[in-house]
Amino acid sequence: MKLNFKPGLFLILVAKAPALVWEVKKRDGGQLGTIQAKGHQPNGKARWPFVNHYSFPIWDQEWGHITIQMSGHPPFGAQVMWNGHELVACQASQEKIDWQKENHGFTESTDAAGLARVADTLSQSGAVERLSQVCERWLYTTCLVFGLDLEEQRRSGFRYQYSTYPVEYSRHLQFQVGPQMEEVFQALMDRSCSLLNLNRVKTIFGAKNRPPHHRRHGTPPAGESWSRPLRTI
């Protein structure tokens, strides 16, 4: 399969969602005064109001389908949504590697080793920098420009700071025999659940941080009746 799309923005969607919104109060002389989150409460907490969010589906020649969701109010909070299989598909097409996929999984390829080699580039040390570059390429000139034009961005020095880079790695296995699939599934579940020993369960439910006063009233300590790690049933 080959991908032949022109790069650029191809759709804009609008929906309401909660977001941080700045509320600016002016002084008597017209100068800017206090700046605080809209919906600010006396207790210091702020309830984020529901405002319009704009989703920008974009086709990038190198990274494939990218969606950027941005709040329509300052500070224009943005989320960049992208899946690694898009990059693998684009790079494989450029290297003339044949492939077939369904949803997020590759099902066939005449060059499995070449496809795996392309996928391995996502775990290299420069992957985060490359992802930053594609964000910079579209955020300011395609999305934020609707709220702040390029001159206003330059004068204000508005820049985004990225908080996380979530990465998902998955393997898709095809089974011809149902019991084989069940056997692999149960083995994976046993492998995961065996890590949930008593101390981990008590930590998850906060038993270690609870005050010991409940023992004076005859209540057994949390987790005392557990005799073995959790298992699948």
Indicate the pLDDT class of residue 232, thresholds 50, 70 and 90.
very low
Indicate the pLDDT class of residue 37, thresholds 50, 70 and 90.
low
Residue with tokens 């080793």: 113
Please give the Cα distance from 214 to 199 (Å, whole number). Answer: 19
Domain range list for the chain: 8-156, 173-233
Do 174 and 101 touch, CB atoms closer than 8 A? no
The reported pTM is 0.60
Mean pLDDT of the chain: 76
The continuous run of DSSP H or E covering 84 comes out as: helix 84-94
Indicate the pLDDT class of residue 143, thresholds 50, 70 and 90.
very high
Task: Provide mean pLDDT across the span 159-172.
Answer: 70
Instruction: Give me the percent of the chain exceeding a pLDDT of 90.
Output: 17
Tokens for 201, please give them: 């369960």
pLDDT tens across 195-220, in order?
666 676 676 666 555 555 554 555 44
Indicate the pLDDT class of residue 54, thresholds 50, 70 and 90.
very high
Do 57 and 11 touch, CB atoms closer than 8 A? yes
Residue 163 pLDDT exceeds 50: yes
CA–CA distances in Å: residue 148 to residues 72, 105, 203: 11, 38, 47
